[in-house]
Amino acid sequence: MYRDVAAIEALFAQPFNDLMYQAQTVHRRHFDPNAVQLSTLLSIKTGGCSEDCGYCSQSARFHTGLEARPLMALDDVVEAAKAAKVKGATRFCMGAAWRGPKDKDLEQVTEMIRAVKALGLETCATLGQLKDGQAQKLAAAGLDYYNHNLDTSRAHYDNVVHTHSYDDRLNTLNKVRQAGMKVCCGGIMGMGESRHDRAGFLAELAALDPPPESVPINLLVHIPGTPLEDAPALEPIEFVRTIAVARIVLPASFVRLSAGRQSMPDYLQALCFLAGANSIFYGEQLLTTPNPGADADRALFEKLGLRPLEPESAKEAPRAAKIG
């Protein structure tokens, strides 16, 4: 329905109260409005990436002070997954800083996927661009979701990344779908893009067939040493508008409030949940950036009357909910 950029821009332009009402109404048609899916993210291979994504501390091209670390041992990944499950996570996401995995690396990652699945957790991986046949190997290992973000609009992409193209990203997403896995695909707000770009980005997501089951919406973390360290901060209400429009445009997708929560006061996170966000990364660390601790999130959930989505129902599929 909302694949036209102008129509999506019209949603952004609504009075704030009207936009929030529409987003909350759509949200309640598809989901329990007070249940939030919890994921934990682990960097299984850190730094030394050949790409030049302007927001990322892991690029070997930037001097960010990040210490590169090789691929983690299987036992260490399993221990981290066990700890995440104890804390309430239902999905365990593994990220590796590669342009794309080599086949020998993929063999080790598939072992990790099988081991994490055996714990009763959903699995997600973000490993960069996939070559022919690699998505099938990940699917055979039991990977539930593959994350590969579009980041921003096609028009703005060249201002952020130069070492691969927008179509390269879409090509990997197509491989993931053909292998039968679910797609986790979102973007980063506050990279100097315009509202038109944010609308174009959401139109790209809506045009995927089918749209992503999981949509992480990140607020740029300004990392010293990266090209975007001095990017102008996005106005907070505009970020909430973006969450709300994402909920309307992608009604059956889980919308994840992702990176940037560490700098958000409780009231801003509350507005994001009201706008239709219903998933978060849970735990003190994302890939390389800080995240609110589990205790802080439990306190926020209690304050707002939110609860974690139960493990047996924590699937990226819509749930009917009555409008109260």
What pLDDT, on the 0 to 100 scale, is given for residue 284? 57
DSSP string, 255-318: EEE-TTGGG--HHHHHHHHHHT--EEE-SSBSSSSB---HHHHHHHHHHHT-EEPPGGG-SSS-
Active site residue 185: no
- For 89-93, 132-136, 187-191, 273-277, which range has the lowest pLDDT when averaged over its residues? 89-93
Q: So what's the pLDDT on residue 261? A: 86
Is 124 in the active site?
yes
Q: pLDDT: is 40 or 176 the higher one?
A: 176
Percent of the chain at pLDDT exceeding 70: 92
Query: What is the distance between the alpha carbons of residues 186 and 140, in angstroms, rounded to a whole number?
Result: 24
Residue 46 pLDDT exceeds 90:
no
Q: Which residue has the tokens 């332009």?
A: 13
Active site residue 49: yes
Mean pLDDT over 255-268 rounds to 90
Q: Would the pLDDT of 132 be above 80?
A: yes
Q: Band the pLDDT of 271: cuts 50, 70, 90.
A: very high
Question: Mean pLDDT over residues 22-30, rounded?
Answer: 97
Q: One of 91, 93, 241, 272 is an active-site residue; which one? A: 93
Report the sign of the C-alpha dihedral through residues 292, 295, 300, 301, in that order.
Answer: positive
pLDDT in tens, 297-324: 888 999 999 998 876 544 444 443 333 3
Q: 307 — phi, psi (to 5°)?
A: -145, 155
H or E element in which residue 64 lies: none
Q: Which two tokens stand for residue 35?
A: 């249940």
| CB of 185 closer than 8 Å to CB of 146 | no
Q: Which of 169, 241, 256, 261 is catalytic?
A: 256
Q: Assign 3-state DSSP to the chain and report helix, strand, coil percentages, each to 5.
A: 40, 15, 45
Which pLDDT does position 324 carry in this prediction?
30
194-247 pLDDT tens trace: 999 999 999 999 999 999 999 999 999 988 889 888 899 999 999 999 999 999
Catalytic residue among 184, 241, 247, 261: 184
| pLDDT value for 126 | 92
What's the CA gap between 57 and 222, in Å, rounded? 10
The secondary structure of residue 221, as a DSSP letter, is P
The more confidently predicted of residues 234 and 64 is 234
Exactly one of 49, 91, 169, 247 is catalytic; which is it? 49
- C-alpha closest to that of 189 among 167, 213, 215: 215
Q: Are strands 307-308 and 145-147 parallel, antiparallel or unpaired?
A: unpaired
| Cβ 67 vs Cβ 47: under 8 Å | yes
Mean pLDDT, range 92-115, rounded to an integer: 91
Backbone angles phi, psi at 41, to 5 degrees: -115, 130
Q: What is the mean pLDDT of the chain?
A: 88
The pLDDT assigned to 113 comes to: 96
Locus of tokens 């139960």: 310
DSSP character at residue 69: B
Catalytic residue among 3, 29, 53, 272: 53
Whether 12 shows a pLDDT value over 70: the answer reads: yes
User: Which range has the worst mean pLDDT, 28-42, 81-95, 260-274?
Assistant: 81-95
Catalytic, 272? Answer: no
Q: CB–CB of 280/109 below 8 Å?
A: no
Query: Two tokens at 285?
Result: 């660390």
Is 283's pLDDT higher than 70? no
The crossing angle, in degrees rounded to 10, of helices 5-12 and 195-207 is: 130
First-residue to last-residue Cα distance in the chain: 26
